């Protein structure tokens, strides 16, 4: 990979030449916010932090790091929980923050695609698609702070994976800067293309080990015309799986999300609320949060009500949101679990209790 690692002063001088003012951070206070991820369980000590503002700058910096044999750690929104975007504690790795590469290049409501830069926020991209009467379906609890590039590099699944697939299924093409600075320009939007190797798949889910994603094309979909959200209480995971199988047969592709929540998880979410009131009349060991969202007009609520009523031997209790605000309130139970867990400390438990064996009052034995 080139010559032996150069001295700190030489590296800083070489990288500073390729960046505009403020593009390279070296002071302890300046690099502090790039030293940990969202979980606060992982800390590192970056050699420095480079912040390119264009793909060409990213290319030039990668080429210089290649020549100087400087290891690089790409960073996006730092919403990860496993330390993958945190530099080593030894101080020898250079963090490459893509926070300045955040533009939306195009939104095409006819072809149902958009092209965005790597550090465009997921929520920003979803709002841009919504403004063109389209849906970008990938959805995370951290969508207000996570970035498109990191979501692709980790092959994010999100809550709508059942209907729309993972990031791997939603990315027609990516623009990548390789380790030696070469640019592989592939943010193509053509869907029906069977030519040769599908090279973009090499860069999805590999967390920057083969190159840094600087931009990507994303698939869009027609916006749903209506949506129904239900929270369902169950006795066991086995009953949840039986409900899932029946839901797939009755509701088909209308299912947008089907999330399993154990009682412990719901308890964590309740602790984060100012009004810790159980959403159902009794406590259950297992819950399912289900979303259905067609893009064509059908009698959706009648379908969901009849489906739940037909599974009385499985469904103990449930509630169907009567408004979008109530639906968002139900989803908050799911989205706040991770944040509450973080406030409680690092999660070290090796074995979760078998939900099927828990009594209906939610206590553990």
**Are residues 283 and 247 located together in one domain of the fold?**
yes
Asked if residue 363 is part of any domain, the answer here is: no
Last residue of a domain, one of 58, 77, 97: 97
Asked if residue 362 is part of any domain, the answer here is: no
For residue range 97-153, list pLDDT tens digits in order.
Answer: 899 999 999 999 999 999 999 999 999 999 999 999 999 999 887 777 789 999 999
- The pLDDT assigned to 8 comes to 73
Q: What is residue 301's three-state secondary structure?
A: helix
* CATH number reported for the structural domain that contains residue 300 in this entry: 3.30.70.2190
Asked if residue 295 is part of any domain, the answer here is: yes
**Are residues 233 and 218 located together in one domain of the fold?**
no
From the list 35, 8, 96, the residue with the least C-alpha distance to 60 is: 96
**Are residues 241 and 341 located together in one domain of the fold?**
yes
Asked if residue 307 is part of any domain, the answer here is: yes
Last residue of a domain, one of 222, 247, 275: 222
**Structural domain containing residue 191:** 104-222
The answer to whether the predicted template modeling score (pTM) of the entire model surpasses 0.85 is: no
- The pLDDT assigned to 359 comes to 39
- Determine phi and psi for 281, rounding to 5 degrees: -70, -30
For residue range 2-12, list pLDDT tens digits in order.
Answer: 344 457 777 77
Asked if residue 364 is part of any domain, the answer here is: no
Q: Which residue has the higher pLDDT, 47 or 57?
A: 57
**Are residues 211 and 263 located together in one domain of the fold?**
no
Asked if residue 3 is part of any domain, the answer here is: no
Q: Give the DSSP H/E element, type plus range, for residue 60.
A: helix 55-68
- The pLDDT assigned to 312 comes to 66
Would you call 36 exposed, middle or buried from its count of C-beta atoms within 10 A (0-12, 13-18, 19+)? middle
């Amino acid at each position: 990979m080139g010559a032996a690692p150069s001295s700190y002063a030489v590296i800083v001088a070489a990288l500073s030449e390729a960046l505009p003012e403020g593009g390279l951070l070296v002071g302890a206070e300046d690099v502090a916010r790039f030293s940990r991820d969202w979980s606060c369980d992982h800390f590192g000590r970056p050699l420095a932090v480079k912040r390119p503002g264009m793909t060409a700058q990213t290319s030039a910096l990668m080429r210089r790091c290649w020549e100087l044999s400087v290891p690089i750690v790409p960073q996006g929104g730092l919403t990860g929980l496993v330390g993958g975007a945190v530099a080593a504690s030894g101080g020898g790795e250079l963090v490459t923050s893509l926070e300045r590469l955040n533009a939306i290049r195009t939104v095409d409501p006819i072809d149902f695609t958009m092209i965005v830069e790597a550090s465009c926020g997921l929520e920003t991209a979803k709002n841009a698609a919504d403004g063109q009467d389209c849906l970008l379906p990938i959805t995370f609890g951290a969508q207000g702070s996570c970035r498109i590039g990191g979501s692709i590099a980790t092959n994010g699944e999100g809550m709508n994976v059942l209907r729309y697939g993972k990031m791997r299924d939603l990315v027609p093409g990516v623009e990548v800067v390789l380790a030696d600075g070469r640019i592989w320009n592939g943010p193509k939007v053509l869907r029906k293309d069977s030519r040769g190797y599908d090279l973009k798949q090499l860069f999805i889910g590999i967390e920057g080990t083969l190159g840094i994603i600087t931009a990507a094309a994303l698939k869009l979909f027609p916006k749903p015309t209506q949506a129904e959200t239900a929270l369902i209480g169950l006795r066991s995971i086995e009953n949840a799986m039986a409900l899932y199988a029946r839901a797939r047969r009755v509701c088909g592709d209308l299912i947008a999300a089907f999330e399993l929540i154990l009682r412990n998880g719901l308890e964590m979410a309740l602790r984060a609320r100012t009004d810790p009131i159980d959403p159902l009349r009794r406590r259950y060991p297992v819950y399912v949060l289900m979303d259905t969202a067609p893009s064509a007009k059908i009698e959706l609520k009648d379908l969901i009500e009849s489906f739940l009523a037909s599974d009385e031997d499985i469904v103990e209790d449930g509630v169907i949101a009567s408004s979008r605000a109530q639906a968002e309130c139900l989803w908050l139970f799911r989205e706040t679990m991770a944040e509450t867990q973080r406030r409680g400390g690092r999660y070290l438990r090796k074995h979760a209790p078998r939900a099927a064996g828990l009594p209906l009052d939610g206590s553990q034995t």
